[in-house]
């Protein structure tokens, strides 16, 4: 018996499919309507990292991310992380593995696994990020 697809799987499939069609990216479609990647304000563009909450429930939170800096190695002990790459020249460190990312790549990091995004170009990194359960700012433990 096959399991029904989860909303996260369907979102990932839709964003990945859009990347492969050359269609303008991204659109996140849900019962609340359509969300498009935000137009970042002057204030947000001046920040090293800007994050906008797209939607939130007790089960998960969705965020638009734009950053011009590499992250420090860290882990989330209470949430799994899934990220869809929207732009930028980046490398993702997940556990002991390192991946050069491309637009449309989907990165999944289970809770407790050390990870960090490394910027390898001058263009800002952009992503659509999902935390399950919803992101809690205190759930980020830096690794030395």
How many structural domains compose the chain?
Answer: 1
| Residue range(s) defining the domain that contains residue 65 | 39-142
In order of 56, 79, 89, 91, the CA distances from 132 in angstroms are 10, 5, 26, 23
In tens, the pLDDT along 51-84 reads: 999 999 989 999 999 999 999 999 999 999 999 9
Residue 133 is assigned to a structural domain of this protein: yes
Q: What is the pTM of this model?
A: 0.82
Residue 31 is assigned to a structural domain of this protein: no
Give the whole-angstrom CA distance, residue 39 versus residue 30. 20
Residue 24 is assigned to a structural domain of this protein: no
| Helical segments of the chain, H only | 7-21, 42-46
Residue 134 is assigned to a structural domain of this protein: yes
Residue 16 is assigned to a structural domain of this protein: no
Residue 33 is assigned to a structural domain of this protein: no
Residue 14 is assigned to a structural domain of this protein: no
Residue 3 is assigned to a structural domain of this protein: no
In tens, the pLDDT along 103-118 reads: 999 999 999 999 999 9
In order of 33, 105, 144, the CA distances from 125 in angstroms are 25, 13, 23
Q: What CATH number is given to the structural domain containing 119?
A: 2.60.120.10
């Amino acid at each position: 018996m096959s399991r029904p697809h989860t909303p996260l799987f369907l979102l990932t499939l839709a964003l990945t499919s859009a990347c492969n069609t050359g269609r303008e990216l991204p659109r996140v479609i849900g019962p609340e309507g359509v969300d498009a990647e935000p137009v970042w304000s002057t204030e947000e563009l001046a920040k090293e990292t800007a994050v906008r909450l797209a939607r939130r429930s007790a089960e998960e939170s969705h965020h638009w991310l734009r950053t011009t800096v590499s992250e420090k190695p860290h882990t989330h002990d209470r949430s799994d992380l899934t990220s869809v790459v929207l732009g930028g020249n980046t490398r993702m460190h997940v556990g002991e593995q390192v991946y050069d990312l491309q637009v449309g790549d989907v990165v999944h990091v289970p809770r407790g696994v050390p990870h960090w995004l490394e910027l390898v170009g001058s263009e800002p990194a952009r992503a659509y990020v999902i935390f399950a359960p919803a992101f809690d700012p205190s759930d980020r433990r830096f690794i030395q």
